[in-house]
Chains A and B, each alone.
Chain A
Amino acid sequence: MVEGARVVVSDVYRKSPFAGLLEHASKIHECNQTLHNAIELYCRGNFKEFEKRAKKVSELEAEADLIKANIRAHLPKFILMPVDKGDFLMLLREMDSILDYSEEAAVTLSYRNTSIPPAIKRDILAHMHKVIKTVKQTEDSIAMLRDILETSFGKKPRDELKKMIKKIHRYEWEADQIHHRVSKRIFQDDDIDPVSTFQLILVVDYIDNIADHAENAGDRLRAMVAK
């Protein structure tokens, strides 16, 4: 269209940035599943297959980064959204962190092929399981945006969102508990060599961070749709 004053009716519409947000959320889903898979393989001692999965996690994180950059690049000053742009971008940032820490966890495991004692193995898997649950809850909350936008912030979807976010808090707390438990076990196990201890502590820290940021994302989401 020629730069100038000719106004065509379609000039006022713009592509929805929320579409990009939902796309990013689907990457989170894929990435987390892949990470879960990777950790299971690692715990079973199947380090070759683990490498492949870890690589996939990094790829997905990079793809999500592109989506994120794309969204950020298309939010100029003159765009008017039904939510605060700052809240929107901060939500995106927390979502980005979920992926960042997923990658950190996978990459740190790949630094060393450690043989994990059974009790700790069980805890790590339980921890991962709970974290997945937390992130899934966050993903579902973000998907709730569709209904919220359609009803223009109607009461029902917002109330449902509040309930879902409460659940995120609960799951994150439960994940925290398991994190403490497994960290304690790792520190108290004298059979593990110091380097492996360091590696495992880092990994469970990163996995816990995933849940932390999933919780933050939920809070940002809540702030974003507040009336």
Chain B
Amino acid sequence: MMETTFLITLLAAILGFYMAWGIGANDVANSMATAVGAKAITARQAVLIAGILTAVGAIFIGSHVTGTVSKGILDVEGQSENILIIGFMSALLSAALWITLASYLALPISTTHSIVGAMIGFGLMAGGTAMVSWDVVGKIALSWLLSPLCGALIAFLLFKLIVKMIFDKDNPDEAAIRLGPLFVFLTFFIIAASLLMKTNLGNKLGFGEEILLPLVVSGMVACVAGLVGFYILRNIEKRANGNGRYMRVEDLFRKLQVMTSCYVAIAIGANDVANAIGPFMGIIAVTEHGFMPAEVTVPSWVLAIGGFGIAFGIFSYGYRVMKTIGHEITELTNTRGFSVDFAAATTVLMASKLGMPVSTTHTVVGAVIGVGLARGLAAIDLRVIKKIAASWLLTLPIAGATCVGIFLLLRWIFI
């Protein structure tokens, strides 16, 4: 029995790592595309930063969403241990299958939607509609609708703010230098708060379930970061002028742009890791207890497998993807990229804190449309909205059906 447990866990770990690897390869562009497109960093630098930071986000903030994916979607009361293990395994397998096909054939599958769809498929097959926690599924579906909208809204407001407080002024350069530290403060505050509030890291530092103390600490960290930003920005003034009158503002935003790209990488790691190891976590919980316990704490090593998997995915395909996208996105400047990144990252992090698995790609796209609506981009292709809607409608049934197929097969073999 011990051997089978070990084998199952090992197989699940391998599949989870493989899933994570696929997710990294697929979504690598989401965090760094803006910075590379705006020529703030090179493709090589982007791949390195994205890989490391996505892993960081996964390991230190990823527990909440993982919890939802592994046990929030299904009500597993009364199901046998074997059924559960086979079910989660099928979900992992079908999702991993689709990840591979999706990268290879450019198929319309979203990594987030496929894992949720697979779990629902298993639930419906094993226990009928009663087994699926429809309220959780409903919340997840709502988050899929709201995340691009939220990304759009924040990006819109942020870019409008930049226009009003910087571009509209008589001396935009000065205004950018003055406003820059504020953005640095905001970014670091949100990142620190995400890292410290109700996370494994927070627990280790003794914060536990508290909210106020982590917020205060985050505030202090953010202040320090803001001051550092202030001095760095002031020193940029001393360097040579750019060519073209508003180049200086874009120059000043270059550092902010890189910073927010890092922010997005962390947020994506936090949210996407659940897609990789959600069912894997379910298997671990069930094998450990013989049933699905009420509370699931995701151990750090599980998150690490997910995080490193994503990082490897980014390192293996990242450079090629980043170079291609960098060529395609030529109209982006640092101010626009900054708005997109900040909006996307904030939205994704908020969703992660709420335990909601959202599509980071759709959120980024929403943010770009937000900037476009704020008159920040020369031309936006609105067909992408249709594509997003199609993705919602297609992925769930396809992934669910695949999972059902694999589940029935495995059940027939092993039970």
Chain A residues with CB under 8 Å of chain B are: 1-2, 4-19, 78-82, 146-147, 149-156
Contacts and interface: CB of A to CB of B under 8 A. Distances in A.
Nearest to B106: A2
8 contacts: A7-B387, A8-B29, A12-B372, A13-B332, A16-B378, A78-B381, A80-B379, A153-B375
B108 A4 contact: yes
Contacts of A79: 379-382
B361 A9 contact: yes
Contact of A147 (B246, B250, B325, B377): B246
B85 to A, nearest CB: 31
Interface string B374-399: 11111111111001111101110000
B252 to A, nearest CB: 14
Contacts of A146: 244
B381 A12 contact: yes
A9 to B, nearest CB: 5
B105 interface: yes
B379 A17 contact: yes
A7 B361 contact: yes
B160 to A, nearest CB: 8
A151 B172 CA distance: 9
B368 A12 contact: yes
Interface stretch (B87-95, B162-170, B273-281): B162-170
A152 B376 contact: yes
A188 B166 CA distance: 60
A15 B379 contact: yes
Contacts of B394: 5
B21 interface: no
Q: Is the interface of B mostly helix, strand, loop or mixed?
A: helix
Interface in B344-391: 361-362, 364-365, 368-369, 372-384, 387-391
Given A1-B106, A2-B107, A9 B364 contact: yes
Contact of A80 (B29, B110, B382): B382
B48 interface: no
Given A4-B107, A152-B167, A9 B325 contact: yes
Contact of B378 (A12, A18, A147): A18
Contacts of A14: 331, 379-381
A7 B246 contact: no
Contacts of B168: 151, 154-156
A150 B246 contact: yes
- Greatest chain B CB density within 10 A among A4, A5, A146 is at A5
B380 A80 contact: yes
B199 interface: no
A107 to B, nearest CB: 36
Contacts of B382: 78-80
Nearest to B33: A9
B374 A7 contact: no
A146 B383 CA distance: 26
B220 interface: no
A152 B246 contact: no
A7 B381 contact: no
A144 B30 CA distance: 33
A11 B378 contact: no
A4 B369 contact: no
A152 B375 contact: yes
Nearest to B333: A150
Nearest to A74: B379
Nearest to B336: A152
Interface in B316-342: 324-325, 328-333
A106 to B, nearest CB: 34
Interface string B297-316: 00000000000000000000
A12 B365 contact: yes
A11 B388 CA distance: 11
Contacts of B368: 9, 12-13
Interface in B141-180: 159, 163, 167-168, 170, 172
Given A6-B102, A151-B163, A151-B167, A13 B387 contact: no
